[in-house]
Amino acid sequence: MAPMLTFSADQLHAAATKIFRAAGADEANTKIVVDHLIDANLTGHDSHGVIRIPSYVRSIRNEQLAPSAKPEIVRETAAMTLVDANRTFGQVSALFATDAVVAKAKEHGVAIAGTFRGNHIGRLGYYPTRAAAQGVALLVAYGSLGGSGAPFGGRKGALGTNPISFGFPSEGLRGEAEGVQFFLLDFATTAVAAGKVSVARDKHEQLPPNSLIDKDGRPTTDPNALSQGGALLPFGGHKGYALSLMSVMLSRALIRAGEDTGEGAQGGAKVFFLAIDTNVFGDGAPAAASSVFEKVRATPPADGFDQVLIPGEPERRSADRRRKEGIPVAEDTWGAVTKTAAELGVSL
C-alpha cells in the first residue's frame, strides 16, 4: 500500500481554491466545486474528492470546461426545467438544476429537470442530501455510453459507469443514530466506480475480483487495466446492467429529445433529476420513513457487523471522524495535485 498523507478539510479547501482560481474559475463557481470535492473526501468518497482536481484542470485547458460559465434555463413548464450547463463545472450546473427542481416540487408536488452540455457532476449523493434537507425526495441519474462499463455478457466496454442516487428525508432516528435525517442510495451501476479505480491505482492496491476485465476480456484485478482498454463489469450481473441502461434512458435518451435548443446545444454530459415533495400525498412521510428505519436497524447484526445501518449513515460517520482526525490522501494523488498547481504557478 502506498504511503498516505493527512490534511484537514480546511487545508484541502484552501489548496483547491487556489488552483481553480488560478485556472480561471470565478469565485462563485470555485466555492461550489471546492465545497463539493471536500465534502466527498469527508464522507469517505475519495474517488470524487481532490483526486479530481488534475482532470478538471485538464478539461479547462482543453476548453471542454468553461470555468466561469453559468448554467441557464432554456425551457420550462410548471413541473419541468431544461438547463443548458454551458460547459461549466458539473457541480455548478447540477446544483442549479437541483435547486430548480426542488422549488418546483415544493410548489407542484413533483417535478423533473434535465441538464445538457455538462461536465462531471461529482458525487451524486450530494444533491439528494441537499433536497432531503428541504423535505424533498430526489432521484438523480447520470447515464452515458462509453468504454468504461461492459454490458452484461459483453467482453468490451459500451457504457459509462452510469451512477444513480436517491434520497428520502426522515424525522431522524433515536439513540446511536441521532442526527440521521435521510436515506441515501448512491452508487455506480458498475461493480466499482471509475473514480475508485483511480484511488486504488494511487494507493497501489488491487481491485476486488469480478469487477474488471482487461482489453482482451479476461478477468483482472489490476486497476491500470481500465485505462489500457479494459472495462468494469456491472454489479450484480444482469441486474446492474439493467439499472445502467435505465440511467441511460432517463438521461441520455430522454434529455436528448429536448436538447436541440439552438446553436451549440449538442453534446456534453446529460443528467436527469426527479423531485417529489414528501408531503405530496399528505403529511407524515418523513415520520413513516423514521419508523421504517428504526425497525430495520433493530435487526440483530450478522457475524462481523456491529449493527445494521441505514444507507447514508456510513457517510455521516466518516464525515464526523475525518473532521476530527483529518482526511487521508495518497502520496500519488497529492503529487498529481501539487504538479497541477505548479503548472499554474501556484505554490501549496
Three-class DSSP labels, the chain: CCCEEEECHHHHHHHHHHHHHHCCCCHHHHHHHHHHHHHHHHCCCHHHCHHHHHHHHHHHHCCCCCCCCCCEEEEEECCEEEEECCCCCHHHHHHHHHHHHHHHHHHHCEEEEEEEEECCCCCCCHHHHHHHCCCEEEEEECCCEEEEECCCCCCCCCECCCCEEEEEECCCCCHHHCCCCEEEEEECCECCCHHHHHHHHHHCCCCCCCCEECCCCCECCCHHHHHHCCEECECCCHHHHHHHHHHHHHHHHHHHCCCCCCCCCCCCEEEEEEEEECCCCCCCHHHHHHHHHHHHHCCCCCCCCCCCCCCCHHHHHHHHHHHHHCEEEEHHHHHHHHHHHHHCCCCC
* Separation between Cα atoms, residue 173 and residue 117, nearest integer Å: 40
pLDDT by position in tens, the chain (length 348): 678 999 999 999 999 999 999 999 999 999 999 999 999 999 999 999 999 999 999 999 999 999 999 999 999 999 999 999 999 999 999 999 999 999 999 999 999 999 999 999 999 999 999 999 999 999 999 999 998 999 999 999 999 999 999 999 998 644 444 454 789 999 999 999 998 999 999 999 999 999 999 999 999 999 999 999 999 999 999 999 999 999 999 999 999 766 554 434 456 899 999 999 999 999 999 999 999 999 999 999 999 999 999 999 999 999 999 999 999 999 999 999 999 999 999 998
Strand pairing class (145-149; 110-118): unpaired
Give the pLDDT confidence score for residue 26 in this predicted structure.
98
Exposed e or buried b per residue across 106-142, where buried means at least 16 C-beta atoms within 10 angstroms of its C-beta: beeeebbbbbbbbbbbbbbbbbbbbbbebbbbbbbbb
Instruction: Tell me if 340 sits within 8 A of 57, measured CB to CB.
Output: yes
Rounded-to-10 torsion of CA 6, 7, 8, 14: -170
Question: Which pLDDT belongs to residue 262?
Answer: 43
As given in the structure block, the three cell numbers for residue 1 are 500500500
The CA-based dihedral angle spanning residues 87, 91, 96, 99, taken in that order and rounded to the nearest 10 degrees: 160
Domain chopping of the chain, boundaries: 1-68+313-348, 70-190+234-311, 201-231
Pick the CATH number of 70-190+234-311 from 3.40.50.1000, 3.40.190.10, 3.30.1370.60, 3.40.50.150: 3.30.1370.60
Q: Which three cell numbers stand for residue 297?
A: 436497524
| Residue 77 identity | T
The residue whose grid cell reads 455548478 is 92
Alpha-carbon distance of 221 to 302, in angstroms, equals 28
Residue with cell 445502467: 244
Helices 27-42 and 313-325 cross at an angle (nearest 10°) of 100
Write down the pLDDT at residue 182. 87
Q: Which CATH class is domain 1-68+313-348?
A: mainly alpha
The Cα 105–Cα 282 span in angstroms is 14
pLDDT on residue 2: 72
- What's the half-sphere exposure (Cβ side, CA atoms, 13 Å) at 151? 10
